[in-house]
Amino acid sequence: LTDEMVVLISACAVQLSFGYPGIFLRHFNRILIYPDDYYSTITRRYHQGEVNRGGIIVLSWKNFLSGYADESDGRNLGLHEMAHALLLENHIINGEFEFIDDRALDDWGRLARKEVFAIEQGNSIFRSYGITNAHELFAVAVEVYFERPNELKNYSPGWYTVMSQLLNQDMLKLTGDQKL
């Protein structure tokens, strides 16, 4: 474990939770870092990262770094896994739950159900891994929101708006990059 790992992973968590200053992902008490892809004896396959209900976030350091190496490809392991943690934190009954607006979650659900077909047809801004389940689509949408906000807004202003509402921040206003 290096200072660089601590700082970069912490910054990733802050990037995602920036719109929720009182949310610290308290349910998560451990972050495991593997040098590269790791083998799970539970799933019997290799993983790059995961989040579990036991309060553990697991990351491949190599893949974490590559997620930030290209900040416009819409793929970022750190943001992806922190998105899972944020959504799970919203549902775990503790001092930090139900902080995400229910209406925004409902709007997201409606968009997500329609988006699955677009992804299956190859007509979506979101990668196909998003159709695995709703949690994966949320995490994939978070990656795109942070790495390709202009493209997301051009693709669908509704998607951009609902992601801004869910994360309680507006990437284009934060970056001052509002090209259309």
Residue 30 phi, psi (nearest 5): -155, 135
Helix (H) and strand (E) counts for the chain? 8, 5
Cβ distance 142 to 112 under 8 Å? Answer: no
pLDDT of residue 178: 56
Residue 89 phi, psi (nearest 5): -60, -35
pLDDT of residue 43: 85
Mean pLDDT, residues 72-85 taken together: 97
β-pair partners for 39: 46
β-pair partners for 58: 32, 50
pLDDT of residue 19: 96
pLDDT of residue 95: 86
Nearest to 79 by CA among 148, 132, 134: 148
* 63: DSSP letter: H
pLDDT for residue 117 is more than 80: yes
Neighbours of 9 (CB within 10 A): 20
Q: SS3 string of 132-166? A: CCHHHHHHHHHHHHHHCHHHHHHHCHHHHHHHHHH
Residues contacting residue 136 through CB under 8 Å, at least 6 positions apart: 129, 130
Q: Return d(Cα 83, Cα 154) in angstroms, integer.
A: 22
Give residue-wise pLDDT tens across range 122-162. Answer: 999 999 999 999 999 999 999 999 999 999 999 999 999 99
| Predicted TM-score (pTM) of this structure | 0.94
